Amino acid sequence: MPGKKKVALVTGANRGIGFETARQLGQKDVTVILAARTYEAAQQAAQKLIAEGIAVYPLALDITRDADRKAAAREVEARFGVLDILVNNAGIGGEGGILNPRTIETSEEELQTVFGTNLFSVIALTREFLPLLRKSDAGRIVNLSSILGSLTLQASPASPIAPMKAFAYNASKTALNQFTVHLAAELKDTSVKVNSAHPGWVRTELGTQHAQLDVADGAKTSVDLALAGADSPNGKFIHAGQELPW
């Protein structure tokens, strides 16, 4: 008898890596809740996947809004009763691009905005959905981080990413990695696994058109971690099946 279909929620799924993650999970027979900042954006993106024969449900979820987070959790509970996969994909860059180091000039406003989306909202959203993830036989939380948040590589002048010192963005991803480590440790005796994913340098609005990977390849790490089995990593920082240094 075929198993029950998994249910996944992908944030920031109206475009970029999130949209492609929704598509690839749907192609693997996962029921996908396609979340976007507005219902219109979610619905427009969902229509494209529905036209491809993929089962997706549009959901309005600005991750920075507490009311949206709470309403989203209520809606998923009412419709599905469980959440198997949470892909914390939505994220924003800072000002000035990654090749424009301006650490000491970074304003408090920029730090608040970037940390607000990339860290605080991810923590708050995960808190809302944890009760539903705990109901899954194999709950998976995938936090979209970045290799630019690796302290080890940022502190190694020879590393290819060392010149890319966009402070607000990089620090927000470093802190997100700490959230991954802490939450994974807290949930280690449960069926819920938590990992950080680096998607690669991907051609999206954030990654720019100069990036190496197309979105099809850029979504693979998220999809692999979302569907990872019981013997898979927990509390790790992964790109394309390989562990990255924190």
Residue 188 appears among annotated catalytic residues: no
**Sequence-ordered list of residues with C-beta below 8 angstroms from that of 85, at least 6 positions apart, any chain:** 6, 7, 8, 9, 25, 30, 139, 140, 141, 142, 226, 227
Residue 93, phi then psi, degrees to nearest 5: -90, 175
211 binds ligand NAP, rule: CB under 6 A: yes
Residue 169 appears among annotated catalytic residues: yes
Place of tokens 């194999």: 138
Residue pair 197/239 in contact (Cβ under 8 Å)? The answer is: yes
Q: Which of 6, 23, 37, 220 binds ligand NAP (CB under 6 A)?
A: 37
Q: How many CB atoms lie within 10 A of CB 232?
A: 15
Q: How far is the CB of 2 from ligand NAP (least distance, A)?
A: 32
Q: Which of 8, 12, 167, 175 binds ligand NAP (CB under 6 A)?
A: 12
Q: Is 88 left (phi over 0), alpha (psi -120 to 50) or beta?
A: beta
Q: How far is the CB of 178 from ligand NAP (least distance, A)?
A: 16
64 binds ligand NAP, rule: CB under 6 A: yes
149 binds ligand NAP, rule: CB under 6 A: no
235 binds ligand NAP, rule: CB under 6 A: no
Q: Which residues bind ligand NAP (CB under 6 A)?
A: 11-12, 14-18, 37, 41, 62-64, 89-92, 117, 144, 146, 198-199, 201-202, 204-207, 211
Residues belonging to the active site: 169, 173
